[in-house]
């Protein structure tokens, strides 16, 4: 067999159709705390450079990693050991980057988790211990100090001719591995205005959030300033008691709105269709045409005692098959998600066919939604 080709054909035409029964979906409401954040109350990222010691010969090759060698010499200098004149050969040390998230309102003495990642050619950080490492913020100030035993969620084994790795052995975590030394100044009760940032900006959702706050408090203090922001003036009765006000606001139920969108993952064949996707009146026909080309070689020999020569020739056979059960489905104007799925299922389409159909419907202008391919 030489070639196997398969073509999917999708035909479109305007047509009269039957009415689908309207299936109204229940729209779910969400708490404001689940769809938005209060501005100023967020994590801050910290980063630091340090050394991991105690490795079982799986650390950096300090002969080729200069920054690891200099870090070791500098560390030894701090404790009064001069190692600049000697030849360092240890493979039990690794230079690492240490990262962490400092939560809002983290107080001195509280602990946070840290992530440790190798920078050089270390092969495995399992069993290592991080030496005290200052963690700085974007302003260059030190806010925490990390130290402790690494937990590496990976397995590695190596023999003479084969090795196996499960997970990433050059990255690990130290639960509660850093102690907060400095606090980020932020006085909540001094605020005269609260700004709420929507995680998915939308004009309709921001207006619904402001309306819900005003209706609950009985005051006209909330205003949607843009699709992603709602400002709330702190009423007099809540001055100095912002925690009470924010607790009351974040528990309010709001129905988020969203754009009509179809998300397609072509690599895996996954299609996700939003609830507000609508389709204008059209007809869909889906069928499969398979063309199969087969070549069979044979030997052609000359007659006895002739001057001819033996040659190899090929016979080609072409077989065309087309599905006889192809159907035509008509979809009415304003078809909902459920009706669309029911109609396409009636055709017996596969996820791959569904992707082609949706892209063709969008090209025809009948799909009232955005298509995002990931």
- Distance between CA 356 and CA 366 in Å, rounded? 14
What domains sit in the chain, N to C, each tagged with a CATH number?
3-25+261-373 (no CATH), 30-40+187-254 (3.30.1360), 44-180 (no CATH)
Strands (E), 137-252: 142-149, 155-158, 163-166, 171-180, 193-198, 222-226, 229-233
What's the rounded Cα separation, in Å, for the pair 139 and 31?
Answer: 34
Please tell me the predicted confidence (pLDDT) of residue 16: 26
Q: For the residues of 146-159, what is the DSSP string, one character each?
A: EEEE-B---EEEE-
pLDDT at 34: 93
Task: Summarize pLDDT for 268-277 with one digit per residue, the tens.
Answer: 777 787 777 7
Query: How confident is the model over 215-224, as pLDDT tens digits?
Result: 999 999 999 9
Q: What pLDDT, on the 0 to 100 scale, is given for residue 324?
A: 56
pLDDT tens digits, residue range 156-178?
666 666 667 677 889 999 999 99
CA angle 190, 111, 35 (to 5 degrees): 55
pLDDT at 280: 73
Q: Rounded to whole angstroms, how far apart are CA atoms 29 and 152?
A: 40
CB atoms within 10 A of CB 315: 9
Q: What is the enclosing helix (H) or strand (E) of 253?
A: strand 253-254
Residue labelled with tokens 């052995």: 169
- Name the residue with tokens 């009470």: 244
Q: What is the mean pLDDT of the chain?
A: 79
* pLDDT at residue 190 in the model: 82
Nearest to 103 by CA among 197, 184, 8, 194: 184
Residues of the chain with confidence (pLDDT) below 70 = 1-27, 85-86, 155-163, 165, 282-296, 305-306, 314-348
Contact between 127 and 116 under an 8 Å Cβ cutoff? The reply is no
State whether residue 206 is helix, strand or coil: helix
The DSSP 8-state label assigned to residue 167 in this structure reads S
Q: Tokens standing for 55?
A: 């490795």
């Amino acid at each position: 067999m030489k070639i196997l080709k398969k073509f999917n054909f999708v035909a479109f035409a305007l047509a009269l159709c039957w009415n689908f029964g309207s299936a109204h979906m229940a729209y779910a409401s969400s708490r404001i705390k689940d769809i938005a954040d209060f501005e100023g109350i967020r994590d801050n990222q910290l980063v630091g450079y340090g050394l991991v010691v105690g490795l079982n010969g799986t650390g950096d090759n300090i002969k080729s990693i200069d920054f690891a060698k200099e870090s070791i010499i500098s560390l030894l200098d701090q404790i009064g050991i001069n190692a600049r004149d000697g030849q360092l050969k240890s493979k039990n040390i690794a230079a690492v980057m240490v990262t962490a998230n400092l939560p809002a309102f983290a107080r001195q003495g509280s602990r946070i988790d840290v992530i440790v990642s190798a920078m050089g050619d270390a092969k495995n950080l399992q069993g290592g211990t991080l030496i005290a490492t200052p963690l700085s913020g974007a302003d260059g100030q030190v806010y925490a100090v990390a130290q402790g035993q690494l937990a590496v969620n990976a397995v590695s084994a190596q023999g003479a001719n084969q090795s196996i790795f499960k997970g990433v052995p050059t990255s690990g975590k130290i639960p509660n591995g850093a102690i907060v030394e400095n606090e980020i100044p932020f006085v909540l009760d001094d605020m005269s205005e609260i700004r709420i940032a929507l995680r998915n900006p939308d004009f309709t959702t921001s207006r619904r959030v402001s309306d819900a706050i005003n209706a609950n408090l009985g005051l006209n203090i909330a205003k949607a300033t843009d699709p992603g922001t709602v400002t709330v003036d702190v009423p007099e009765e809540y001055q100095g008691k912002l925690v009470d006000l924010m607790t009351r606001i974040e528990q309010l139920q709001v129905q988020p709105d969203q754009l009509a969108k179809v998300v397609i993952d072509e690599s895996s064949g996954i299609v996700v269709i939003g609830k507000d996707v609508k389709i204008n009146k059209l007809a869909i026909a889906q069928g499969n045409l398979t063309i199969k080309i087969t070549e069979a070689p044979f030997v052609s020999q000359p007659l006895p005692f002739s001057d001819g020569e033996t040659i190899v020739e090929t016979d080609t056979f072409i077989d065309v098959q087309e599905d006889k059960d192809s159907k035509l489905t008509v979809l009415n104007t304003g078809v909902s998600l459920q009706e669309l799925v029911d109609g396409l299922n009636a055709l017996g389409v596969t996820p791959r066919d569904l992707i082609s159909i949706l892209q063709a419907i969008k090209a025809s202008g009948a799909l009232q939604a955005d298509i995002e391919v990931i």
